[in-house]
Structure 1
Amino acid sequence: MKKLEKEINEYAKGKVEVLGLRFSSKEEVRKIKEAKHPKIYMVKIGYTKKEKIYEAVNALIDREISQATPTRVLHRRADIVRKRKILDIKIKEMKMNEATLIVKAESGTYIKELMTGDGGGTKPSLASLAGDEVKVLELDVIGIGDENEKVERI
């Protein structure tokens, strides 16, 4: 493990550092998989109705949504409806036909579908609230919270 740790640190110098690399027990893996960590995303979207995006973003703050299993993952996931909460969402940057949003959501939220609506599978979605077609241009996880921490506004 020390050799692998050294290789990772040399390869990713300045980007990431691995310390204390070790095998995990089955119990540790189970706890990690069951944990419900909120995630923070940066998502760049495209749209046509700029004036409606502000209202739609504000309508999603602290909102529970329903998400059917997205069409893109139906082949590997059960087709069920999940309830998820959008803890916070804000506009970081806005241009004529695109915006960058910061979204804090419960673990398991399908963010692409939150934006696009996935053909009505996510209700409400940014697209349905804005009355516009929304496309996801970029999506990145920029933070993972502790499941026990108090949720704070971003």
Structure 2
Amino acid sequence: MGEIERRLADLGLTLPPAMPMLPGVRLPFSLVLRQGSRLLFSGHGPQAPDGGIHPMRGKLGAELGVEDGYEAARQVALSVLGSIQREIGSLDRITRWVKVLGLVNSTPTFCAQPAVINGFSDLILSLWGPERGAHVRSAVGMAQLPFNIPVEVEGELEIDGD
């Protein structure tokens, strides 16, 4: 078990398994793409512990509040880390988080998207620290997200070249 996996365990967190494909859904793209030392990850939503879509659904500013969104974004971080771990093995290979784009399923008047996406950023920073975990970020509201999930995140990071 690597350093990051130990930190996750110390926090009582586990990474979900790969999400099973939903009937009638086709995803003709990679969840994680390696390009030299760059690692890009496609948009991920929150997953349940069994790997399925997390039961928390809805729009921030209507069915869900900021605290719900923060927790959903934290769950998205676990989903992303699970996909990355399946691609590269040890999460210790991540040398730098670079960019995060957070999409929040929001009502037109909801304006706390940054506070919601802090759930993702705060977990990354707690695991990698301020040097390796710091990243640039955007947090934007969307009229709707797939499957009515509350949060989706995509991004880029650097890994060691081995």
TM over 0.5: no
Which TM-score tier does this pair reach, normalised by the shorter chain? Answer: under 0.3
Could you say which structure has the larger radius of gyration?
Answer: 1
Decide which structure has greater strand share.
Answer: 1
Q: TM-score, normalised by structure 2?
A: 0.27
Decide which structure has greater helix share.
Answer: 2
Q: TM-score, normalised by structure 1?
A: 0.28
